[in-house]
Amino acid sequence: MCGIIAVLNPTFTPSTIIDNFKKGQHRGPDHSTFEIINNSVWMGFHRLAINGLTPDSNQPFCIDGIYLVCNGEIYNYKELYQEYNIQPETKSDCEIIIHLYKQFGIHETMQIINASECAFVLYDSNTDCTYAVRDTYGVRPLYHAILGTMHIFASELKMINELNITTVQHHIPSTITMFHRGELKDVHYYTSLSSFYSMTDHIEDVYKGIHDKLYNCIKRRVIATERPIACLLSGGLDSSIVTAVVKRVRDELGVTEPLETYSIGLEGAEDLKYATIMANFLGTKHTNIIVTEDDFFNAIPETIYNLESYDTTSVRASVGNIMVCKEISKRSEAKVVFNGDGSDEVTGGYLYMKKCPDAIEFDKECRRLVQNIHLFDALRSDRGPSCNGLEARTPFLDPEFVDWYLMLPPEIRFTPHCEKLLLRKAFESYLPPCIANRTKEAFSDGVSSTKRSWYQIIQEKIPAIWDLDTVNMFNPPTTPEQRYYRMIFNQYYSNMENVVPYMWMPKYTTSTDCSARTLEHYNEKE
């Protein structure tokens, strides 16, 4: 991951902005630059070098008066250079954005690179127009802060949290924000299709289509890196599929170094057991990181600072995610970390979705989850690696896979007797039976044993917080756990509560907690 900031019509001094900008350096530990382009546009960039490892690939880029800071990976940039007969000036994948913009304009550029992950700000000094853009599903983070006539775009809240700006929001995914002579305009460059394929294929052809789409999405992410790779392997279906495909692609490419895989959990955790089985099945160089209950609980304040959210399920899941990435950064040369995030939203894998009343409602819920994933799982997926100087690769959120899968008829995607059945069938030959048939276990639950869950541990250890003023509070906390998280969040990001527009909760249930282990039908999964 990298970190970017762009300030339009600045009203602060450069030193004030730079002091805040430096707080995002963990995202890009290899090189940092802050440039005053002119009186109206300032740009900063923290670089984690993944492609084009030489200094000429440092940002901001400037070509023919067009400036760019981009936190992203344009996976097919080499093919685009060939297709459009463009001669690059560097070996960076992000440079292609400027060339495409010059040739096609910003809207068509985003259509061309839609399968990539990026959040960027481009300033064209020739037209005095600035564009802030975020990828289709918000895999790469971007915040938009407004103070009077000043606009700031930044990768993280901590890069702006001491500027006393109260109007801060997530930049909406698949949106281009155009800024020209004081006028702001948002344009959506991409809308997911809501129509469905007619079901004329044999079901085996559907399995093959799912396999081929996801395989290609993973393969392009394996190829597009000059830095070593590792995989987060929980032993669940999604991370196991991604790891198995990464291993197979590396074998095809002739990579001889063993693939590193990592899992984390408390003693007796379900994930550790299944991750070990999967790692042995694939022959990876696997590391199980075993932590104590106190290790997990004491990491909550740092987790909330890095996550920049007080959402209950996001905090619970991010503790282990951040801790395992910290260990990778200490133990490994790997800088690119693959994960299985996004699958549950796309395929409807959450246990509560077994209780959807029908296939149409199931489809609506999947699309809602995908549309809002940047607020929850995509945020967690980014922060774990990025706060430890690593880059996440999230192939399940590639639009090529997401859109193809969601266009399958809902009646074949909705399989309440066995969640994610199509995905299981598509990749069952890649997995041992106990993994292919393992029922969904949320990461925030799987890091603990079934006898003593992470959810239960938190309830026992959480302090009683009664001095938190919740009168007129946005998203007021309703439990001691939520009060604790909110108190910590407010210590770091006061007046920024609206970045969590609502709390993630399962539907179709009477449960008042977000843990899948509290669902009425949890034990039906066996």
Residues labelled as active-site residues: 2
β-bridge pairing 129-134 and 143-147: unpaired
Report the distance separating Cα 456 and Cα 381, nearest Å.
24
Q: Which long-range contacts (CB under 8 A, 24 or more apart) does 103-109 make?
A: 106/131, 106/133, 106/176, 106/178, 107/176, 107/187, 107/189
Secondary structure of residue 172 in the 3-state scheme: coil
> Distance between CA atoms of 492 and 479, rounded to whole angstroms?
21
Distance from C-alpha of 145 to C-alpha of 165, rounded to nearest angstrom: 7
Q: Which of 406, 404, 420 is nearest to 350 (CA)?
A: 420
Q: Which amino acid is at 177?
A: T
Task: Name the packing angle between helices 480-493 and 454-461 (round to 10°).
Answer: 80
Q: Using DSSP, how many helices (H) and how many strands (E) does the chain show?
A: 20, 17
Other CB atoms within 10 Å distance of the CB of residue 280: 11
Is the separation of the CB atoms in 402 and 189 below 8 Å? Answer: no
Rounded distance, CA 484 to CA 464, Å?
A: 8
What is the per-residue DSSP string for 2-29?
A: -EEEEEES--S-HHHHHHHHGGGGGG-B
Helix (H) / strand (E) element for 426: namely helix 421-427
- Whether residue 304 contacts residue 492, with contact meaning beta carbons closer than 8 Å, is answered with yes
What distances in angstroms separate CA 126 from CA 6, 60, 130, one per listed residue? 18, 17, 11
d(CA 144, CA 167) in angstroms, rounded, equals 8
Q: How far apart are CA 126 and CA 104, in angstroms?
A: 15
Contact residues for 93 (Cβ-Cβ < 8 A; gap 6+): 51, 52, 72, 73, 74, 75, 77, 224
Phi, psi for residue 180 in degrees, rounded to 5:
-145, 115
Residue with tokens 């006028």: 183
Question: Token pair for residue 279?
Answer: 């790692």
Report residue 84: phi and psi, to 5°.
Answer: -105, 10
Residue 279 amino acid letter: A
Q: Pull the structure tokens for residue 438.
A: 């393992």
d(CA 301, CA 391): 23
